[in-house]
Structure 1
Amino acid sequence: MSTVDPISAATDGLHARSHLVDLEAPVILRSGARLSAVQIACQTYGHLSQARDNAIVVLHGLTADQHAAGPVRDETGKSGWWDAAIGPGKAIDTDRFFVIVPNVIGGSGGSTGPGSDNPTTGRPYGLDFPVVTVADMAQAHLALLDHFGIGRLHGTVGGCLGGFQVMEILAAAPKRAGKAVIISATARTSAHNTALWAVLRAAIKSDPNWRGGDYYGGPAPSDGLGLLAMTGALFWMSREVLEQRFGMAPLTQEPRYTLEPDFAVEAFLNTVKANAGMGRLDANSLIYLTRAIDYFDLARDAGSLAQALHGVCDPMLLVSYASDWRYPAAEMAEIAEALPAGTTCDHVELDSPMGHGAFLYQFESLEPVLRRFLG
């Protein structure tokens, strides 16, 4: 079953729709747990062709959801997270393509996750929700394609956590993925990244309002989310970006010599903290999604990265950023080396002081590369 709602705000020719889809079959997770009733929230843009051969799936990163394009919406308070890329005449051209943006299972945008009602108890799952993996997310995405009657995609695109999902789709169903675009990602997470996620999860759990994950219906752990967001901003923004944007500029003409915020960079981080506590992000979902990243290792179950990707047959675009210390270009190059002989693969390394977040915040350099590849 599926419910569909037009997005009411002006959409500038996007033909945007919101969907809430009940998957027909249970999802058996990598852990062995079973989710008997799974809903997937997604947004679509453009029109599906009669031949059903013009669909592109765009997969979101850690803190995003299905609202990838278009104007500000009441639910999020933000415009689409990749509005620069998706729309009429843009790199992912909605005049040509039918674009599907699903929210992952375990997310907080309407797909089944820790904030959903547990059918056994009638109350939100909280930490009773089973651990999900990126492979589980890919399984749900493939079931969503079945719902839309799409056997084969024109393309599959994702950055960061979205890039991991692209790889899991390639491993599970390479003939369905079409052209694959993997941005700012790696074939497995690192101990350094897992350590960073552990710090962010500890920030959430340190908030008394978290209550062991059982905070639904009461005050959200806003302080913990705020501390997470402040720390997370330093993952996304390099030393160079912070220096260029803020330097050591004081908030007033002269230093006040106080323990209160006295510099522009401190005021920026306080704004980040305040915005994180406004309810757009769900604390438990961030715990579950970062844990899914911890378990991501494309080669582990297949025996090798080459074996995991042995079925890839369509062109692939890999995009790295020279300043991305979280997922270095050398690790993306390992993906290219593992592909079957004869596979068309472009590995493009771009320069941006934004590092890992450049595909979102400095799209200009990626735009012609993505447009050319998908076209």
Structure 2
Amino acid sequence: MSVNSTKQEVVQNRTGATGLVSTQFVQLFHPPSPLRFASGQELGPITVAFETYGTLNADASNALFVCHALTGDAHAAGLHSSDDRKPGWWDGFIGPGLGLDTNKYYVICANVLGGCQGTTGPGSINPVTGKRYCLNFPFLTVRDVVAVHSELVRHLGIRQLLGVIGGSLGGMQALEWAVRFPDQVRAAIVLASAPKLSAQGIAFNAVGRRAIYADPGFMNGEYYESEGPRYGLALARMVAHITYLSEDSIELKFGRRLQDSDRFAFSMQKETEFQIESYLH
């Protein structure tokens, strides 16, 4: 056995046999046909970062689209190089013989519009001004995200997806696919998601945004040449993590158990007295 084949075998063992993958990029919505947002604003061209796994069959009928959650990206499976230590975020689910079996299906995952992980977003350069969009980027919704991905699927020559799957924000995208493009998708698999955000969810998000805005590092969104609103983001993340579990599941998982001792410290300086506090950090 050659050194190269041994190295490839090691890579495959580490990645659920998905192996080495690469992120692709395509530009869509070129003027004079820009994307029209739900807000009425327009934008184009739009760069989309995406990855594919498996092989598209002759009649393009075996394609599945994976929608990532809030902090995800297009890299859902495999490794970008043999030295890469971080496989895709759904590496254990996408690949030969796995849940999304690439021996059967052609799996697509693309970064969302505004995601700034290869797809056009606030951090991208506005060709009109030569500067980053920052807060001038159009207000976007799940509808706009799915509109871009729908155009990507058409660009790939796929008339109808076998299915769309996603969790959390990805699940909201899957629902939007089913509602807005019923002729373009045969099935939607929605995980841990909802068709709309509750009033409480909206309130939690408002608190998170306020924490970011109040951080001096936010600089009205013009923070790309600095470290950015690190403390505001950390606080917003803590608030968000409270919403990721139900009250019952938080109680079951953490209760009032202490983090690393069996006695209360009676100290305001100890930020992770309880296990639930450690979870928030």
Q: TM-score, normalised by structure 1?
A: 0.64
- Of Structure 1 and Structure 2, the greater helix share is in 1
Partner of 2:55: 47
Deviations 1:147-171 (A, max 9, x none): 2111111111122222222232223
Say whether 1:249 aligns with 2:262: no
Q: Distance in 1 between matches of 2:112 and 2:72?
A: 10
Identity among equivalent positions (%) equals: 37
Partner of 2:178: 170
Partner of 2:18: 14
| 5+ long unaligned stretches in structure 1 | 1-8, 271-375
Aligned residues: 261
Residue range with higher mean Cα deviation, 101-110 or 14-23:
14-23
Equivalent residue for 1:120, pick from 119, 128, 152 = 128
Return the index of the structure with the highest Cα Rg: 2
Say whether 1:131 aligns with 2:136: no
Letter in 1 for 2:23: S
Q: Distance in 2 between matches of 1:240 and 1:168?
A: 29
Partner of 1:154: 162
Asked whether the equivalents of residues 103 and 110 of structure 1 are also in contact (C-alpha less than 8 Å), the reply is yes
**What stretches of structure 1 move > 6 A for 4+ residues in a row?**
none
Letter in 2 for 1:129: F
Q: Alpha carbons of 1:240 and 1:128: their partners in 2 closer, same or farther (altered >3 Å)?
A: same
Letter in 2 for 1:269: L
Q: Secondary structure at 1:100's aligned position in 2?
A: strand
Say whether 1:266 aligns with 2:271: no
Q: Alpha carbons of 1:210 and 1:149: their partners in 2 closer, same or farther (altered >3 Å)?
A: same
Say whether 1:198 aligns with 2:202: no
Q: Secondary structure at 2:183's aligned position in 1?
A: helix
Q: Secondary structure at 1:132's aligned position in 2?
A: coil
Asked whether the equivalents of residues 156 and 179 of structure 1 are also in contact (C-alpha less than 8 Å), the reply is yes
Letter in 1 for 2:48: I
Larger relative contact order, structure 1 or 2 (CA cutoff 8 Å, min sep 6) = 1
Asked whether the equivalents of residues 17 and 45 of structure 1 are also in contact (C-alpha less than 8 Å), the reply is no
RMSD: 2.4
Query: C-alpha displacement at 1:142, in angstroms?
Result: 1.2
Q: Alpha carbons of 1:267 and 1:162: their partners in 2 closer, same or farther (altered >3 Å)?
A: closer
Q: Distance in 1 between matches of 2:244 and 2:196?
A: 19
Asked whether the equivalents of residues 59 and 166 of structure 1 are also in contact (C-alpha less than 8 Å), the reply is yes
Q: TM-score, normalised by structure 2?
A: 0.84
Partner of 1:238: 246
Say whether 1:30 aligns with 2:38: yes
Q: Distance in 2 between matches of 1:133 and 1:166?
A: 14
Asked whether the equivalents of residues 16 and 91 of structure 2 are also in contact (C-alpha less than 8 Å), the reply is no
Q: Alpha carbons of 1:233 and 1:216: their partners in 2 closer, same or farther (altered >3 Å)?
A: same
Residue range with higher mean Cα deviation, 129-138 or 84-93:
84-93
